[in-house]
Amino acid sequence: MQGLYEAKLLSYPRTDTPFITENEFAYLKANFGKYSGFLGLDLEMVQTEPRKRYVDGSKVQEHHAIIPTKQVPTESALAKMDDLQRKIYALVVKTTVAMFLPDYLYEETKIQTKVADLLFQSIGKTPKQEGWKILFKQQTKEEKEDVQTLPLVIIGERAEVGVKSVEKETQPPKAFTEGTLLTAMKTANKTVDDEEAIKILQEVEGIGTEATRASIIEALKQKEYIQVIKNKLVVTEKGKLLCQAVESQHLLTSAEMTAKWETYLKKIGKREGNQENFITNIKKFIVHLLEAVPNDIEKLNFSDYQEQKEKEAEKSIVGKCPKCGNNIVLKKSFYGCSNYPECKFTLA
């Protein structure tokens, strides 16, 4: 996406705002024909006025939503793009054009079936007007399941039903991939119970920002708290120790802390609070952690972590040090003596 931005085909990519202002709406509207031509479709613009679902200047902060620029790529420019860039550009254009197309309309049917004293409800949907969905022909599994036509019935009609008992085992949650963890960070409001915290986290879109979430995950990998195994994120023994060390500090490990900070920052913005109190309370919180966490760490069992490190060390041994007789081991980008800093022997 960065390449498309540098080629002046898409707007600034590091944004998590889903809104544009009326200025952007005006130029997108003026270029509707060019975007439709790029998609190879003869489309009619129906929604010609800004709608709050997409256009709300009050919700646009530093950057608006990702949209195409006035410049549409030529055939030669498209040929120079890789497949992923072409798909990303086409998706942004489709999403933009969809804003001007008719609504997707469907008819919803509900049937309530009474079995003894229990009431069961079935919901069916029948599409009536494709509208903007004409741009997105490939349906997801969830969308296919969502389109379900119910049979015609008469109120009070009796029906025979079959009942069967199904035994299933509870499955553990699926391991995160980097992609699903990014989504979980953005929707961190789902992990808290407090209604006010949920509302705040929805407004700020969870933990981190669009520009920082990926770097947070990268930092955890570099510090060896998590690792990628077969495209799945797995917590290392070192990471498990960290989790155990801060387990008693609920606020530190909960998205509620982000919500509390954001709440007070809003007060500062409205001049109902002051930054000195905010910073003072953060300092007190940090001092508390520095006093409490080391005591919690002393109670931890390091045996699994030490065993893992010993196994890793055995794999990295390449020989004996000619200076002191200790092992020569791999140290990230070079080989050196395991007796460092007493022995500074290295191999280039």
Nearest to 257 by CA among 208, 213, 217, 218: 208
Domain boundary pick from 81, 99, 117: 99
Q: Are the C-beta atoms of residues 30 and 79 closer than 8 Å to each other?
A: no
Domain containing residue 228: CATH number: 1.10.460.10
Domain boundary pick from 99, 119, 138: 99
Examine the domain organization and report whether 293 and 321 are in the same domain: no
Examine the domain organization and report whether 190 and 268 are in the same domain: yes
Query: Which amino acid type is present at position 102?
Result: P
Nearest to 254 by CA among 205, 202, 207, 204: 207
- Domain assignment present for residue 327? The answer is yes
Examine the domain organization and report whether 327 and 292 are in the same domain: no
Nearest to 85 by CA among 184, 30, 10, 150: 10
**Residue pLDDT, tens place only, 96-142:** 999 999 999 988 889 888 888 888 888 888 888 999 999 987 655 55
Examine the domain organization and report whether 185 and 287 are in the same domain: yes
Domain boundary pick from 60, 81, 99: 99
pLDDT at 140: 52
> Total domain count for the chain?
3
pLDDT at 10: 94
- Domain assignment present for residue 82? The answer is yes
Q: Percent helix, strand, coil in the chain (nearest 5)?
A: 45, 15, 40
Q: How many CA atoms lie within 13 A of 272 on its CB side?
A: 6
Q: How far apart are CA 281 and CA 291, in angstroms?
A: 15
Domain containing residue 67: CATH number: 1.10.290.10
State which residues of the chain have pLDDT below 50: none
Q: How many CA atoms lie within 13 A of 85 on its CB side?
A: 16
Examine the domain organization and report whether 321 and 294 are in the same domain: no
- Domain assignment present for residue 137? The answer is no
- Domain assignment present for residue 151? The answer is no
Examine the domain organization and report whether 192 and 290 are in the same domain: yes
Domain containing residue 259: 178-300
Q: Are the C-beta atoms of residues 32 and 88 closer than 8 Å to each other?
A: no
- Domain assignment present for residue 264? The answer is yes
- Domain assignment present for residue 74? The answer is yes
pLDDT at 59: 83
Helices (H), 50-208: 75-80, 83-98, 141-146, 178-186, 195-204
Examine the domain organization and report whether 7 and 42 are in the same domain: yes
Examine the domain organization and report whether 287 and 182 are in the same domain: yes
Examine the domain organization and report whether 283 and 211 are in the same domain: yes
